[in-house]
Amino acid sequence: MDKEKYFLQIIYELASKCRVKLPHAMKDNRLNLAGVFKARDINTKKIVWVLKYNVRVIKKLKKWELIHIVLHELGHIKTQGHKSDTISEYKAEKFALKAIKKYYPQYTERVLQYLARFIGDKRKHYREAYEKLLAENLPGCKSVKDKLIIIRNISKKF
């Protein structure tokens, strides 16, 4: 199956499974990857969610990455965004991680490894949101310092 068709299929399936309003999917190769936006429907004049994605990038990704991207963007729709970028990213990623644990447990470790890559990110909102999420999802660690050591080791493996 073509990656783009698979991507569109999982948008539909995961929106249904997670009880999130199905966004309109739209190609937009100007984006780095994907994003959700509010827009006004021309016919009904209602506000709708649009999930825009870059086809060239989508075609290069693995199955678990496509699932994670869709769940993350659906998380933005479900949590309705926040004024704070950090809180918005945290809530969207928490939603995605919870859904991955429930529906695709075999991908949980890969997603955590992916999130660990953002620990040194210069974009503060990603770094803070993902550090908090990783710290919450690493069992057996009592201190934040221990969790950060484990996170750094995970990110080196990726």
The model's pLDDT over 63-119, given as tens digits with 9 standing for 90+, comes to 999 999 999 999 999 888 667 788 888 899 899 999 999 999 999 888 888 887 777
Strand, helix or coil for residue 91? helix
Q: Note whether 158 and 116 are within 8 A (CB).
A: yes
Handedness of CA 136, 156, 90, 7 (dihedral sign): negative
Dihedral pair phi/psi, residue 49, rounded to 5°: -90, 140
Q: How is residue 54 written in tokens?
A: 């870059």
Q: What letter would DSSP give residue 26?
A: E
Query: Which tens digit of pLDDT belongs to each residue from 118-141?
Result: 777 777 777 788 778 777 776 666
Q: How far apart are CA 52 and CA 77, in angstroms?
A: 13
Q: How far apart are CA 4 and CA 49, in angstroms?
A: 19
